[in-house]
Structure 1
Amino acid sequence: MYGAMKVAIGGPLKLGFRPWVEGLENVPAEGPAILASNHLSFSDSFFLPAVLDRKVTFIAKAEYFTSPGVKGKLTAAFFKGVGQLPVDRSGGRGAGEAAIKSGIEVLERGELFGIYPEGTRSPDGRLYRGKPGGLARVALATGAPVLPVAMIDTEKIQPPGKVMPKLMRPGIRIGKPLDFTRYQGMEQDRFVLRALTDEVMYEIMKLSGQEYVDMYATAAKRQITEAAKAAKAADKGEKAEKADKERSGS
């Protein structure tokens, strides 16, 4: 099913958008490896597999696989077909453990596992601090090499609020594999997890050219949402004050 879906989706993506790629030679022809990528767009999980000869498995929200009706079934078939695994991410720590377990299983089969260390899409195109739990623990548990990946300009293809995608050439840079076997057996050391994750994020930053922000993307999204709410409330207050002045002056 994956091969058929790759042809059905990957072919049109490559033909329509003509993504450019650097560093394909860094992806091993066989054996396990982790592709750790920045995350700019929903489409990242489709462009990266489209340019690879091997299957790469990402983690996806369980809701994509459990929605009811015909549309839900088609969506589930689509995500399964492009190699995504369902994980319920609503359960806090348990959800994180499930994602880690899934990643380890993929790598133990000798396959490629894709992960976004930021944990969510960048809200503004900048690169945010990587979360140490997933990437680092999977890498240390398996000994698999980590390949830093930079998705470039994918967020410009379909910005928020736009229905039709813009035909343009996104880019993908794949860095040289990073070996963290020197840390094996230290999965419980939070300083090791942090150091490993920061090293990968530094390599992604060099590949992508993004500005780095030393905070989590989830926190940045909260700040942006709160600022937007505050601005909306202030604007509403100004309009109300102006209306009051107009009424009192009439």
Structure 2
Amino acid sequence: MLFKIWGHLFFFLIGITIRITGKEKISKNTKCVVVANHHSFLDTPMIYAALPFFVRPLARSDYGKIPLFGYIYRIAAIPVNRDSISSKKESFQKMLSAIREDGTNIFIFPEGSFNETDSILKPFFDGAFRIAKASGQPIVPVLFPDTIKRWHYSSFWSWRPGISRAYILDPIPAEVVARLEIKQLKELVYREMEMHLIHIDT
């Protein structure tokens, strides 16, 4: 609840109005792994404002030093050093523990970092899909088509007031997650997110 309040207050203070589509597809009791596209510093606070439940994000270990957001990352995120195999293994086990022992939902950007390309999405890493399969959780894809317009990744102090939309897509059921191989699951979620982003922008 604290993080949701923080999210809404933050957006109010910087003059951004959030509009959410697909809220009926999940509830505060939903257990899942959440994935989203990543274009902006706004993406993480958008998740806290858009979802009815708490999530722990997987985040680069140096994100705790970011102004404004560092405190949130330090107390909520599961840190990972992507250059370290041991760090990635440790983070994976922490995510599994958070899901199995604490009942916490996990949030991951499958692109890994900001999409600074001309493509709608960057190629996905395996992590989000491995954790969903290992934990037996469904996957909930979320899209942020406007955050790059509101706060571009290239300049930290450059936010612009306006509307920022969040689209919650149909969850990928746990039985589908269990049935598909990692590569197939990753391709399925990628296609769903890509298709909806194209539709939103046309």
TM over 0.5: yes
Structure 2 residue 198 is the aligned partner of structure 1 residue 199: no
CA drift at 1:152: 1.0
User: Unaligned stretches of 5+ in structure 2?
Assistant: none
User: Unaligned stretches of 5+ in structure 1?
Assistant: 211-250
Q: Which has the higher helix share?
A: 1
CA offset digits 1:173-230 (Å, max 9, x no partner): 011111243564x8xxxx91111111011111122228xxxxxxxxxxxxxxxxxxxx
Task: Judge conservation of contact 1:30–1:111 (CA < 8 Å) in 2.
Answer: no
- The amino acid that maps onto 1:164 is S
What secondary structure is seen at the aligned counterpart in 1 of 2:196? Answer: helix
TM-score, scaled to structure 1? 0.68
| Alpha-carbon distance in 2 for matches of 1:78, 1:58 | 10
Moved more, 140-149 or 12-21: 12-21
Task: Judge conservation of contact 2:3–2:54 (CA < 8 Å) in 1.
Answer: no
- The residue number in structure 2 matching 1:221 is none
Structure 2 residue 18 is the aligned partner of structure 1 residue 8: no
What secondary structure is seen at the aligned counterpart in 1 of 2:52? Answer: coil
**Which of 74, 79, 101 does residue 93 from structure 2 map onto?**
101
Structure with bigger gyration radius: 1
- The residue number in structure 2 matching 1:122 is 115
Structure 2 residue 175 is the aligned partner of structure 1 residue 177: no
What secondary structure is seen at the aligned counterpart in 2 of 1:149? Answer: strand
- The amino acid that maps onto 1:38 is N
CA drift at 1:150: 0.9
| Alpha-carbon distance in 2 for matches of 1:183, 1:47 | 25
| Alpha-carbon distance in 2 for matches of 1:130, 1:105 | 23
- The amino acid that maps onto 1:107 is I
| Alpha-carbon distance in 2 for matches of 1:165, 1:122 | 17
What secondary structure is seen at the aligned counterpart in 2 of 1:18? Answer: strand
| Alpha-carbon distance in 2 for matches of 1:107, 1:199 | 23
What root-mean-square deviation, in Å, do the aligned CA atoms of Structure 1 and Structure 2 show? 2.7
Task: Judge conservation of contact 1:30–1:110 (CA < 8 Å) in 2.
Answer: no
Q: 1:183 to 1:122 in 2, by over 3 A?
A: closer
| Alpha-carbon distance in 2 for matches of 1:75, 1:24 | 25
Q: 1:131 to 1:75 in 2, by over 3 A?
A: closer
Task: Judge conservation of contact 2:42–2:147 (CA < 8 Å) in 1.
Answer: yes
**Which of 138, 144, 149 does residue 151 from structure 1 map onto?**
144
CA offset digits 1:105-126 (Å, max 9, x no partner): 2222222211111111111352
Structure number with higher relative contact order (C-alpha < 8 Å, ≥ 6 residues apart): 2
- The residue number in structure 1 matching 2:158 is 164
TM-score, scaled to structure 2? 0.83
Task: Judge conservation of contact 1:149–1:207 (CA < 8 Å) in 2.
Answer: no
